[in-house]
A and B are shown apart, each in its own frame.
Chain A
Amino acid sequence: MVKFITFILAFLVFAFGSANADPKKVGFIYIGPPGDHGWTYMHDVGRKYMESQLGDSITSTYIENVPENADAVRAIRKLADSGHDLIFTTSFNYMDQTHEVAKDFPDIKFEHATGYMQADNVATYSARFYEGRMIEGHIAGHMSKTGTIGYIASFPIPEVVRGINAFYLAAAKVNPDIKMKIIWVFTWYDPGKEADAANTLINQGADIIVQHTDTYAPCQAAQKAGVFAFGQASNQEAFCPDAHLTSIEDIWGPYYADRAKAVVDGTWSSGDTWDGMDKGMVVMSPYNTKLMPSSLIQEAVNMEVGIKDGTLHPFTGPIYNQAGELVVPEGEVAPDGMLLGMNFYVQGIDGEVPQ
């Protein structure tokens, strides 16, 4: 509500002050609240970084808790109508809505996170989180005593499936007998349900919890049950110090500052950005030295180096799908096109991707 009032005020200020509109307006659409300490939180950290870098040349606003349905059109349109120059829509399922509004506002630049469809005024951007998943998988392969990993997945989109596969491939390399139990919760944000899923997985023998949802409830549940967990999107060690091994952190700030600067300079052009650890868009939280042996931490750090210099790729062949067909031949790495559309599990994972 406060946000909404702030937004209205911002809108009014703009409406009356637009004649001498100097600062460019940058708007953000958030799927959750900035306080989730996960996905949205990191976008908001990026937004603030952008503000701090560009100073007076931009102002920014955001609308939080925007559902991934027709409501998103209204929210995006609201930002477009109120004279924003650059709008970031920060969730995969805002894709159609972003394009719908973008068609009506050819002069406004749009940036759609984790999407794959571009237009003249719609760019897409994402981070190669799967690089971090590979490291998590490697750690899990070493740390799991029961050999069972519990994975809390949100929605069956390529981004999530890719993470599962990257994690499993690395874990299975360490321990070929490792088993993955996957629960799809069909939400990004529901602390109660995320905790239920974590407890269910632990109850079924998982001793490491991996999540692709947005709150630290699973990590908390793991801490309570005395098993390990990986955090999500931001460093969550403070909430579960005895369970938290590491997290994959999403670092959006430099990208946002870059793109906003391009709008200020008038050099913005559409495109597709998919950066990883090499560009600092994906960062691992400090490894937990209390829980992990130092040799394992060293291995993880070495993997980071390998990923950064390109000698290590999570999807290096041979990779087979569940039917046993070779999808990535030996010695090759999966092309980005395959990664972007990934909708199958690799061989060794039980179950099916929900359709």
Chain B
Amino acid sequence: MSIELIIGILEIILIATTPLVFAGIGELVTEKSGVLNLGVEGMMLVGAVTAFVTLVITGSYFLAFFISILSGIVMSGLFAILVLFLMSNQIATGLALTIFGIGLSSMLGKEYIGTPIDGLSPWLFVIFSFVIVFLISYFFYKTKMGLILRAVGESHNSAHALGYSVIKIRFLSILFGGSMCALAGSYISICYAPMWQEGMTAGRGWIALALVVFATWKPERVLIGAYIFGGVTILQMNLQALGLRFPGQFFSMAPYIATIIVLVLISSNRLRIKLSAPASLTIPFYKGR
């Protein structure tokens, strides 16, 4: 194996894994505040299509990413209003957001399928994905705001009693999650596979959700988990291309199996605390109770 080959493999792994890191870290922040948003896939798709369409219309990469992130904020804002103020069920609302996002992105992108664009180099985003993970890690464990956010996710009643605005903190966390998902989507349609195709995220949103559980709600583990998920996929491709016999099907399902194992482990309460699942996850907060 030559050094160029190994560098090539690493490059492909980095490029392929970055969207998982973005979406995963966004969802992690949302979940840490005690809200489960299953709309990741939908927000990614809307982010992907808005970025692509903006780029085609304006020709500006900056505007493309800006509008895309804005779309993520709008999508997740909608979700936030529904679950925080109207107390709708988080699971159902999140699923609805995904279905909505799939449809909306198809509609917005209809005229733009097959429009050729110049892709953007992914490397800036790859670097940013590492930076953001360390920033979030620092934020959670070294800053007061991070502590408050985690407190809201653990026990919203206690946080409320201490005078923190549970709703406001959750709202912002959801918006952050949405904007990161949109960034992941725009990275896919502008850098990773520069095109717009309906449903082009192809389930990466669900992998990102699985990733958060797999990472047991720890930022640096999201990064590690993403690189395990992404790396395994690319490595098995390389082994296949080298002519080695390899069960590719198995690796297509590996992320989900790993996640199910973690889910089984945390279904026991004692472990759940150990594995640091936010105690208030999916539980709605009623002011004054």
- A interface residues (Cβ-Cβ under 8 A, vs B): 1-4, 32-33, 35-37, 64-65, 150, 181-187, 189-197, 199-201, 203-204, 206, 215-217, 220, 224, 238-239, 350-352, 354
Contacts of A197 in B (CB 8 A): 237
The complex places the Cα of A68 from the Cα of B233 at a distance, in Å, of 22
- B interface residues (Cβ-Cβ under 8 A, vs A): 5, 8-9, 11-12, 15-16, 19, 99-100, 102-104, 106-107, 109-110, 113-114, 116, 119, 188, 192-195, 197-204, 233-234, 237-238, 240-245, 247-249, 252
Q: B56 to chain A: closest CB distance in Å?
A: 14
The complex places the Cα of A111 from the Cα of B105 at a distance, in Å, of 31
Contacts of A215 in B (CB 8 A): 193, 195, 197, 200
**Assuming A36-B198, A239-B195, what are 8 further A-B pairs, CB within 8 angstroms?**
A4-B103, A65-B198, A187-B252, A191-B197, A201-B241, A203-B8, A215-B197, A352-B245
- The contact sample of 21 A-B pairs, CB cut-off 8 A, is A1-B99, A33-B106, A36-B197, A65-B198, A182-B240, A185-B237, A189-B199, A191-B200, A191-B202, A192-B204, A196-B15, A199-B12, A199-B15, A200-B241, A215-B195, A217-B193, A217-B195, A220-B195, A239-B114, A351-B243, A354-B248
Q: A320 to chain B: closest CB distance in Å?
A: 18
- Chain B binding surface SS class: helix
Across chains A and B, which 6 residue pairs bring their CB atoms closest together, nearest first? Answer: A1-B103, A203-B8, A33-B198, A35-B113, A191-B193, A190-B202
The complex places the Cα of A187 from the Cα of B242 at a distance, in Å, of 20
Contacts of B100 in A (CB 8 A): 1
Contact B240 A224, beta carbon cutoff 8 Å: no
Known: A220-B193, A239-B195. A1 touches B106 (CB 8 A): yes
Contact A200 B103, beta carbon cutoff 8 Å: no
Partner of A351, one of B193, B204, B245, B247: B245
Known: A183-B240, A201-B241. A192 touches B202 (CB 8 A): yes
The complex places the Cα of A203 from the Cα of B2 at a distance, in Å, of 11
Q: B236 to chain A: closest CB distance in Å?
A: 9
Known: A195-B193, A200-B238, A354-B248. A35 touches B198 (CB 8 A): yes
Contact A196 B234, beta carbon cutoff 8 Å: yes
Q: A89 to chain B: closest CB distance in Å?
A: 19
Contacts of B5 in A (CB 8 A): 203-204
Contacts of A199 in B (CB 8 A): 8, 11-12, 15
The complex places the Cα of A215 from the Cα of B113 at a distance, in Å, of 11
Contact A196 B237, beta carbon cutoff 8 Å: yes
Contact B198 A191, beta carbon cutoff 8 Å: no
Partner of A196, one of B102, B233, B252: B233
Partner of A192, one of B106, B193, B198, B245: B193
Contact A192 B16, beta carbon cutoff 8 Å: yes
Partner of B237, one of A200, A217, A238, A350: A200
Q: B138 to chain A: closest CB distance in Å?
A: 30
The complex places the Cα of A65 from the Cα of B106 at a distance, in Å, of 11
Residue of B nearest to A4 (CB): B103
Contacts of A4 in B (CB 8 A): 103
